[in-house]
Amino acid sequence: MIGAAIGQILPLAVGVALSPVPIIAVALMLMSQRARLNGPLFVIGWLIGLAVIGVVVLAVAGPGEASSHGQPATWVSVLKLVLGLLLLLVAVRQWHGRPRPGHEVEAPKWMGSIERFSPGKAVGAGAVLSGANPKNLLLAVGAAAAIAQTGIGSGDQAIAYVVFALIATVGVATPVVMFFALGDRSQRILAGLRDWMGQHNAVIMAVICLIIGAKLIGDAIGGFSS
C-alpha cells in the first residue's frame, strides 16, 4: 500500500520541485558572498516548510478517517476537488499574467536583497517559499491528503511524505549541489538558469498548475463515484 501512496504523490512532488521563483532565489544566494552557508540553509528551510504542512495535514487526516473500507472518505475527495479548482484558477491567472514577447520580466522587489540575506533569513525564505507559496501549499496539502486516503499506517504515511518532500526538494537542491561540485564554473550556469526561469516563470507555473489541477479534479471525481 505504501507503493500506492508514493504513486499518488509523485506528480505533486514534481510540481513542487519545478518552482521557478524558489529556484531563482537559491541561484541568487549561490552568487552571493554567503553562498556556501545560505544555499544549504535555504534547502533546510524548504524542507522545514514542507514538513510542517505534512505534520499538520496527516495529523488532521488521521482522526478524520481519510480512508473508509479501502476507499477515500468523501471529505478527502471534496478537498481534492477544491484544491484542483484552485490550481486551475492559479493556472489561468499565471497565463494571463505572462510577459508578452519582447517584454522584460520584472523580478519581485524582495529578490534584490537576497544577496545580503543573513543565515536566518535564508532558512526563513526557504520555509516560506515551500510552505506558504500558494501553489506549493496546495500541492503539499494535496499530497498529504492523498497519502492519508490510502489508509496505510502512520509510520508508512510518514515515509511516503518524506519521499514526497525529498522529490519536491530536487529543484532547489540541484543548484546547490552544482555549486559545490563545480565551484566557480557553476556561476555561468546559475546565471543562465536564473534568467531563463525568470523569463518563463508564468508559463511554467500555468502548465504545472493546469496539469496537477486536472489530476486532482479527476481523482476527486473518481473518489465520488467509487
Is residue 162 very low, low, confident or very high in pLDDT (cuts 50, 70, 90)?
Answer: very high
Q: Domain for residue 152, yes or no?
A: yes
Q: Domain for residue 210, yes or no?
A: no
Instruction: State the cell numbers at 204.
Output: 511554467
Report CA-CA distances (Å) from 202 to 46, 94, 99, 151, 164.
Answer: 21, 5, 8, 36, 24
* 8 Å CB contact between 22 and 46: yes
CA-based torsion, 172, 178, 184, 186: positive or negative? negative
Q: Domain for residue 113, yes or no?
A: yes
Indicate whether 165 pLDDT > 90: yes
Q: How far apart are CA 189 and CA 198, in angstroms?
A: 14
Residues 106-120 have a mean pLDDT of 83
The most confident of 122-126, 212-216, 221-225, by mean pLDDT: 122-126
Long-range Cβ contacts of 115-118 (<8 Å, 24+ apart): 115/28, 115/29, 115/31, 115/32, 115/33, 116/32, 117/29, 117/32, 117/34, 117/38
Q: How far apart are CA 219 and CA 53, in angstroms?
A: 21
Q: Domain for residue 41, yes or no?
A: yes
- Where in the sequence is the domain holding 157, given as residue range(s)? 2-79+109-198
Q: How far apart are CA 44 and CA 54, in angstroms?
A: 15
Q: Domain for residue 211, yes or no?
A: no
pLDDT of residue 226: 65
43-47, 51-55, 121-125, 217-221: least confidently modelled range: 217-221
Residues 131-151 have a mean pLDDT of 88
Is residue 104 very low, low, confident or very high in pLDDT (cuts 50, 70, 90)?
Answer: low
Q: How far apart, in Å, do the first and last CA atoms of the chain sit? A: 18
**pTM for the complete prediction?**
0.86
pLDDT of residue 225: 74
Q: Domain for residue 179, yes or no?
A: yes
Average pLDDT over the chain reads 88
Provide the domain count of the chain.
1
Per-residue model confidence as pLDDT tens digits over 11-38: 999 999 998 999 999 999 999 899 999 9
* 8 Å CB contact between 123 and 41: yes
